Structure 1
Amino acid sequence: MRTLEWIYLIFNVVMLVWLIGGRNKPRNMVWGGLIISGVLLLVHGVIEGLRWPMIPAYLLTLVPLIVLFAKASTSTVVRKFGRVRIIGTSLLVLVYAAATIGLPLLFPVFSFDKPTGPYGIGTVSYDWTDESREELLTSTAGDKRELMVQIWYPTDKDTKGTTAPYVNDPKVYATAFNDVLKLPKLLFSSLSVVKTHAIQEASLSDAEAKYPVILFSHGLNGYENQNTFQVEQLVSRGYIVVGINHTYSSLVSVFPDGRVAQFESEGKEGFDQLQFSYMDKLNETWVKDAQFVLDEVEKLAANDPNGRFKGHMDLDNIGMFGHSFGGATTVQILMDDPRVKAGMNMDGVLFGEKRIPAEGVGKPFLMMSADTTVAGTSVMSDDEIAAMGTTRPEAEKYYKEVYARYEPLTAGGNYWMELRNTKHLSFSDLYLISPILEWSQGVDAKGAHHIVNDTTIDFFNHYLKGQSLQLDSEVGEHTSYSLKKG
């Protein structure tokens, strides 16, 4: 919850308890409570914005009015049933207070941890079209592959400006979460007021001549800023992060002119969507997306029309990380594009045209996995497997191929970290949206994020900035994770 929400909520709950605690409250104090509550509501509404989970709290502002204008009753019936009335009223107040406090907690305006590095954060978005590639997922003849790309970059700490929202089109995203991920819109009703730590179109800090560049590729059904928890920490440490929205494979793509590209499943659902023949082919499009974005980044570094990035991108030190299908894309890019020096895959099955050879990726690489992902069918019930649209023997056959592709991960001195008590989406922002999601999955979202961030910064600081590496000292079993090195 936000600061003014807490202040308003606590004041009104205390006032409610005081008002029902006995009769004959001084009218001037009741009027004072009404005025203070009204002012707090006005300030909260103007500065933070009103939202539906706070409606029960907003109605508390009317309670002093009810007290002021209610007629005192001293009838025999009231006296006779006074105790019953008091008990009933108290129970109703307790239930109402619980709802008043509970709803904002269950449907919060989530926030991201304060970035720990010395830099502020700026952000800018681009609409880039690859004129060399036909868009295969539309019926429009001559349609070219068009991508939305968001770039985050270091700014001076005291930079002022408009704070960037988490998403620019919250209603579109809420609908997409419902349509694609089958999550109720209600969970995403506060997206419109979620803010990040980034300043829109701020000036790049000149504290360093150049900053290493890191590409980010989201998961299938994901979106370019789905790992804001991680991106902001990286940027605050002096990196330029480039997030790719893989059109028609993302949750949704919204273009500057208002066009919306929805997720296109190509008729694949459940287990059919996971088949290697389909996913390996789809991954080729994502690899080409990443390579095209790298080409455009090189153009920005050479001659940014706005002057922001010209000469300030360290193209000799480019990294990449991705979640899920974006992690698989990262592995393919590491093996296919000499421009990328180091990469991380967060819980992604190794889909793609190329297999990792027995000697390993050949570049610095870190794999991060949820323990439930590595466990495969051993932690899946028959009902869960059936819900995927397959049988246990078919699922076990599928995971046999998954494990075979994983086998050379650490070869050549690379790393594999397995996080305990995590799920596939622990490597994204999703569980921050509501504690309902977190509790239902039995995970600690921020606990996992802290491990991911510490490891990510350590990894890229070493391989892109030449700083000392802590990972080697962490190899072995720990309470929250295990780490292997090849």
Structure 2
Amino acid sequence: MGLFQTNKLSAATLLNTFVLAPWLFQMRTFEMLLITVNVLLLGWLIFARNKSQRGLLVGFGISILFMVTHGLVEGLRWPMIPVYLITLFPVVSVALRHIFKPKGQKQNAPRRIRIILVTTLAALYSFIAVVLPILFPIFSFEKPTGPYKIGTVSYHWVDNMREEHFTKAPDDKRELMVQIWYPASSTTKGKTAPYVSHPDIFANGYSKALNMPKLLFTSIGFVKTHAIEEAELSDKESTYPVLLFSHGLNGVKNQNTFEVEQLASHGYIVVGIDHTYHSTTSVFPDGRVVHFVPQESNTIDYLDKLNEKWVEDATFVLNQVEKLAKNDPDHRFTDRMDMQNVGMFGHSFGGATSTQMLMTDSRIKAAINMDGGLYGKLRIPADGLKKPFLLMSADDTLTGTENMSDEYIASQGTTRAELTKSFSDTFARQESVTVGGNYWMKIKYMKHMGFSDMYLISPVFERMEGVDVRSAHRLINDYSLDFFDHYLKQQPFERMEQNIGDHPEFTLQRG
């Protein structure tokens, strides 16, 4: 399901985003200070009379100081270019004052017109200088609420038992990039992991995936997480439950950082899988880059068959995790993973994979499917799954094609009638979701990509889709944690059982 289905980017959307944006207060400190100083400097250059050359040089010096500090501490980026250019205005002003010297009263009228024109252009320029960093901010993740710090480490695993069908070489094997987040020692110190390790490559991947300009995604290179690279595992508990995470088609292993960090901070070891050639971008240790390869069809039969490959990926990764739990070469996870309490969660196609793993792999004790169609080899039995399961759905997804534009449907290479039938057939598989005491949460005012980090990249995305993404993420985190705490840590429910029924933000059903 695509990112933008019903709304189009418009001037009204941009203006609404700017006027209402609490995002202004999420900007980086020196970035905000530089914008403030330079806009004030521009106003002084236009309206102050009798500006001395010394004053212009002082203004230039102050602006340069803030810009250099911002560049060294936070990093320069393209949405700030109009602000950076204001730094040069005092120097330009010195040059222009010698060109446009008034030579008598006859120049007054043209000069007044020139001042009005300059003021108008300056106001427009200032607006652009302020609004660009707001529309494309360096977003941050909310601080996880758990008692643990977070560590992270990445792996490159090769399944020598499976051939890679997307390459021409007959001896190529299936390769997967995996990232693990885990509870870290309270005394651990080290480098905080970036959101993406290869910003230019991932910006290019997002650009191709969403068919949008690459410039819109370059800011992700400045985003930091709360995870410390290769941190020591916390010794507060002897072992920690394990959760597998599977992204959606054209997603990435860390697309739910808002969620995996929260779970790790509460004592879970979370294993994120990049499904190579089905992820937006995978970067291997030797520098090879693999971008998303579109699926051949959107039919249910094709997606059912494709999902079997994802289940194979997840099974292989779980096997590798078991090896780590027994004998980690880095001595981090040896005997520290509670392999008797393993769960899985996923978004979209990864949610379907989680459901299939729950049904096919006895090691998976509980699973959450976030807005995923129930694709795969097996159907949920009429008498229920017999294992703990939570389906989370966006109310927009449950409307099928009702809110989809004709343009979006055409871009999928299908017709409204065909897509409506596909949705109907997929929804029919949900009839037994809650049978046997399982749960179905339907989140209101929600869209498909609201279950991931995507809408955090820019408030434009959030406004276009009409999702309060921060609130949605807190809701997802609260109920995901409560669900896994109950079934994997044997803790009493704090939310699930207490909130069955209809609520302003969601409806929660139980069979």
With normalisation by structure 2, the TM-score equals: 0.91
The code of the aligned residue for 1:322 comes to G
Q: How far, CA to CA, are the matches of 1:63 and 1:386 in structure 2? A: 48
SS of the aligned residue for 1:390 comes to coil
Matching residue of 2:332: 308
Deviation at 1:25, TM superposition (A): 3.4
CA distance change for structure 1 residues 156 and 28 in 2, over 3 Å: closer, same or farther?
Answer: farther
Matches within 5 A, 1:121-140: 121-140=150-169
Matching residue of 1:23: 49
Q: How far, CA to CA, are the matches of 1:47 and 1:452 in structure 2? A: 33
The code of the aligned residue for 1:241 comes to V
Q: How far, CA to CA, are the matches of 2:435 and 2:451 in structure 1? A: 24
Q: Indicate yes or no: 2:36 matched with 1:10.
A: yes
Deviation at 1:68, TM superposition (A): 4.2
The code of the aligned residue for 1:44 comes to H
Of the two structures, which has the highest relative contact order with CA contacts closer than 8 Å and spacing of 6 or more?
2
What is the aligned-residue RMSD (CA, Å)? 1.6
Q: How far, CA to CA, are the matches of 1:261 and 1:387 in structure 2? A: 23
SS of the aligned residue for 1:377 comes to coil
CA distance change for structure 1 residues 378 and 80 in 2, over 3 Å: closer, same or farther?
Answer: closer
Match of 1:51 among 41, 57, 77: 77
Matches within 5 A, 1:376-395: 376-395=400-419
With normalisation by structure 1, the TM-score equals: 0.95
Deviation at 1:337, TM superposition (A): 0.9
Q: Indicate yes or no: 2:326 matched with 1:297.
A: no
Q: How far, CA to CA, are the matches of 2:503 and 2:103 in structure 1? A: 70
CA distance change for structure 1 residues 299 and 57 in 2, over 3 Å: closer, same or farther?
Answer: same
Q: Indicate yes or no: 2:62 matched with 1:33.
A: no
Deviation at 1:117, TM superposition (A): 1.3
Deviation at 1:158, TM superposition (A): 4.8
Q: Kindly, what percent of the aligned residue pairs are identical?
A: 55
- In structure 2, list runs of 5 or more residues that go unmatched: 1-26
Q: Is the 8 A contact 1:371 1:419 kept in 2?
A: yes
Q: Indicate yes or no: 2:501 matched with 1:485.
A: no
- In structure 1, list runs of 5 or more residues that go unmatched: none
Q: How far, CA to CA, are the matches of 1:304 and 1:411 in structure 2? A: 40
Q: Indicate yes or no: 2:286 matched with 1:286.
A: no
Match of 2:215 among 182, 186, 202: 186
Q: Is the 8 A contact 2:80 2:132 kept in 1?
A: yes
Point out the more displaced range, 62-71 or 362-371. Answer: 62-71
The code of the aligned residue for 1:112 comes to F
Q: Indicate yes or no: 2:102 matched with 1:66.
A: no
The code of the aligned residue for 1:171 comes to D
The code of the aligned residue for 1:482 comes to T
Matching residue of 1:214: 243
Matches within 5 A, 1:235-314: 235-265=264-294, 268=296, 273-314=297-338
Deviation at 1:193, TM superposition (A): 1.6
CA distance change for structure 1 residues 67 and 379 in 2, over 3 Å: closer, same or farther?
Answer: closer
Q: How far, CA to CA, are the matches of 1:126 and 1:381 in structure 2? A: 41
Q: Is the 8 A contact 1:372 1:422 kept in 2?
A: yes
Q: Is the 8 A contact 2:155 2:177 kept in 1?
A: yes
Q: C-alpha deviations, 1:108-132, integer Å up to 9, x for none?
A: 2122111111111111100111111
Matching residue of 2:113: 84
When the two structures are aligned, how many residues end up with a matched partner?
Answer: 481
CA distance change for structure 1 residues 392 and 66 in 2, over 3 Å: closer, same or farther?
Answer: closer
Match of 1:434 among 458, 466, 472: 458
Q: How far, CA to CA, are the matches of 1:183 and 1:207 in structure 2? A: 46
SS of the aligned residue for 1:19 comes to helix
Q: C-alpha deviations, 1:424-461, integer Å up to 9, x for none?
A: 11111111112222222222222211111111111112
Deviation at 1:157, TM superposition (A): 4.2
Matching residue of 2:123: 94
Matching residue of 1:228: 257
Q: How far, CA to CA, are the matches of 2:411 and 2:275 in structure 1? A: 27
Q: Is the 8 A contact 1:335 1:362 kept in 2?
A: no
